[in-house]
Amino acid sequence: MSTVLSATSIIGDQVRNTAGEDLGEVEDLMIDLRRGDVRFAIVSFGGFLGMGDKLFAVPLEALRVDLDNHELVLDVPKERLEQAPGFDKDDWPTDISGEWGQDVYGYYGVSLPA
């Protein structure tokens, strides 16, 4: 079994919670240039045909890959994701290691990597 995935195999994948509810889809991945690793999956949620979507940076540590269904699983209720820290498609965060990154990691209950 492979232990790596390409970015193109994840982008566009559905994100569901453990109750099977659709939480959105992976739009992109966010790389920490200082560390050289992928830190967040960018998930779109709430729009129609790409309009009105809110974007959420979800720490990779908060996601589980479901290889059988080719989707990612995030163990949060849909209502919790609706209240998560998000951002606009035209205003992406630029410093993920500061307060914003700490808030996002804390929201999903995972530790910010050192």
pLDDT digits (tens, 9 = 90+) for 54-110: 899 999 999 999 988 889 999 999 888 888 888 888 888 887 777 888 899 999 999
Question: Which candidate, 2, 1, 57, places its Cα nearest to that of 24?
Answer: 57
Print the domain residue range for 63: 8-107
User: Is the predicted pLDDT of residue 46 greater than 60, yes or no?
Assistant: yes
Confidence class of residue 48 from pLDDT cuts 50, 70 and 90?
A: low
Domain assignment present for residue 114? The answer is no
Domain assignment present for residue 3? The answer is no
pLDDT value, residue 2: 65
Number of domains in the chain: 1
Domain assignment present for residue 113? The answer is no
In this structure, are strands 71-74 and 63-66 parallel, antiparallel, or unpaired? antiparallel
Report the predicted TM-score, pTM, of the whole model to 2 decimal places.
Answer: 0.86
CATH of the domain at 27: 2.30.30.240
Q: What is the 3-state secondary structure (H, E, C) of 55-113?
A: EEEEEHHHEEEECCCCEEEECCCHHHHHCCCEECCCCCCCCCCCHHHHHHHHHCCCCCC
* Residues 29-40: tens digit of each pLDDT: 999 888 888 899
